[in-house]
């Protein structure tokens, strides 16, 4: 896996790099240098570990916005001394938010999650047609699918929404299994993108997705299974 670590505190950056053995890692002490490599050298990484508080014209949040423009499917993890930027992290579809001092176990879980997402995105794609145009989206990039008046909205990690005509029942028969689950008459959810289960809602990239009574037990069971997968 190719990983970029960007932190203007070299001590913190090298500390984090120490947990990334076995991967191709490049450390940047300046956000502008990382973005310049993306823009000029077409450099791309599977995972970006970005400090939020960085001196200079670009902080971690602004850098993430630029990364999303050039590499919309990138896995971005913010690293910070404060949890004040959770909202911004959700808006940028960050895969994780780590507080300093970062613990090795948290990094291990992050790497496992990113690796599994890469494998899933390469293995399966959802094919669809809308207005005569065919398209496909890797499963790993899809957050959830909602239905309204026979229009399916496929909501993706990069913030885009693809629409197609169809019935959610038919879509569920096509893709539901270990990755996607029906949680409501109007929603299918990629369970690997669920951040938490609060009451009768799934939290996915900051959005609350309702769980109906009919599906609650099975959704909760699968959610707990995935938690154990990520710990292992």
Mean pLDDT, range 59-79, rounded to an integer: 91
Q: How far is CA 115 from CA 45, 63, 92, 108, in A?
A: 13, 23, 20, 11
Q: Indicate the average pLDDT of the chain.
A: 90
Cβ partners under 8 Å of residue 154, min gap 6: 126, 128, 137, 142, 145, 161, 162, 163, 164
Residues 9-42 have pLDDT tens digits of 999 999 999 999 999 999 999 999 999 999 888 8
Residues 152-174 have pLDDT tens digits of 999 998 889 999 999 999 999 88
Predicted pLDDT at 20: 96
pLDDT band at 221 (very low <50, low <70, confident <90, very high): very high
The residue with greater pLDDT, 154 or 74, is 154
Among 166, 149, 164, 216, which Cα is nearest to 189's?
216
Q: Is 74's pLDDT higher than 80?
A: yes
Q: Which helix (H) or strand (E) holds 138?
A: strand 133-138
The Cβ of residue 213 has, within 10 Å, a number of other Cβ atoms equal to 7
Structural domains of the chain sorted by starting position, each given as residue range(s) with its CATH number in brackets:
2-121 (3.40.50.2300), 124-231 (2.40.50.1020)
Greatest alpha-carbon pair distance for the chain in Å reads: 54
Predicted pLDDT at 229: 60
């Amino acid at each position: 896996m190719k990983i970029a670590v960007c932190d203007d505190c070299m001590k913190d950056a090298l500390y984090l790099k120490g947990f990334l053995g076995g991967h191709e890692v490049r450390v940047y002490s300046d956000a502008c240098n990382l973005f310049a490599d993306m823009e000029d050298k077409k450099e791309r990484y599977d995972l970006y570990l970005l400090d939020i508080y960085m001196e200079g014209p670009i902080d971690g949040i602004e850098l993430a916005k630029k990364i999303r423009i050039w590499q919309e499917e990138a896995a971005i993890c913010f690293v910070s001394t404060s949890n004040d930027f959770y909202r911004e992290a959700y808006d940028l579809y960050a895969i994780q938010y780590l507080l300093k001092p970062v613990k090795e176990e948290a990094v291990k879980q992050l790497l496992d999650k990113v690796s599994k997402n890469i494998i899933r995105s390469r293995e399966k794609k959802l094919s669809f047609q809308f207005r005569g145009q065919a398209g496909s989206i890797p499963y790993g990039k899809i957050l959830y699918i909602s239905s309204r008046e026979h229009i399916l909205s496929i909501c993706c990690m990069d913030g885009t929404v693809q629409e197609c005509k169809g019935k959610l029942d038919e879509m569920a028969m096509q893709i539901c299994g270990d990755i996607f689950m029906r949680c409501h008459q109007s929603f299918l959810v990629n369970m690997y993108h669920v951040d938490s289960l609060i009451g009768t809602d799934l939290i996915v990239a900051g959005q609350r997705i309702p769980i109906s009574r009919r599906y609650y037990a099975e959704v909760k069971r699968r959610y707990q299974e995935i938690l154990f997968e990520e710990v292992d």
